[in-house]
Structure 1
């Protein structure tokens, strides 16, 4: 099934969207699933992004805090767990 990835549920009524063969997916569980299924790839991309941030430099905790502010607390928690396992 195809899906719309959005926090904006009010503009995409589930029944209307289903009539088009689509589903509505919240970004946080979806992104968390990507982190769980492809941790090495996700961590590598994030490492490159963190390394390239210069002004101001972005650290791992800052990245997780930003994700939480964006409404992705589960994703941030998974990343914290993965990074803690590396240290």
Structure 2
């Protein structure tokens, strides 16, 4: 990710960790980093460990990756299709057909993403 997304690393948030309260204290650094970089949301499959009542104190929300990708798709479907093409092309061991790739997304708890990409399966 460091090579693909400029400035993706957050530094200097460590002093905020003790102030964060979460069910799993090992996740506090995620919220501290989000606060420090003025993020609006944390994208995670692990929603139960990021309760909204705690995150709202910091004007944050936890979003499931499927919801996040779907919202990006609504804003810029071409960008999501291109990203999916790139991900699909990287699957070489073994290679997957477009249908197999979409099935993989379903198994990874991304049904909305798979459904949105299905009409584009010929270009994946």
Match 2:59 to one of 8, 18, 21: 21
| Contiguous gaps of at least 5 residues in structure 2 | 1-38
Write 1 or 2 for the structure with the bigger share of strand: 1
Of stretches 50-59 and 22-31 in structure 1, the one that deviates more from structure 2 is 50-59
Aligned-pair distance for 1:52?
A: 4.4
Correspondence 1:7-86 to 2 at 5 A? 7-83=45-121
Instruction: Flag the 1:73–1:19 CA change in 2: closer, same or farther, 3 A.
Output: same
Aligned-pair distance for 1:4?
A: 0.9
TM-score, length-normalised on structure 2?
0.58
> How many residue pairs end up in the alignment?
85
| Contiguous gaps of at least 5 residues in structure 1 | none
After superposition, what is the alpha-carbon deviation per residue over 1:43-66, rounded to whole angstroms, capped at 9, x for unaligned? 233334434443321221111111
Q: CA RMSD in A?
A: 2.1
Higher CA-based Rg: 2
After superposition, what is the alpha-carbon deviation per residue over 1:11-57, rounded to whole angstroms, capped at 9, x for unaligned? 11110111011111111121112223222232233334434443321
Greater RCO, 1 or 2 (C-alpha within 8 Å, sep 6+): 1
TM-score, length-normalised on structure 1?
0.78
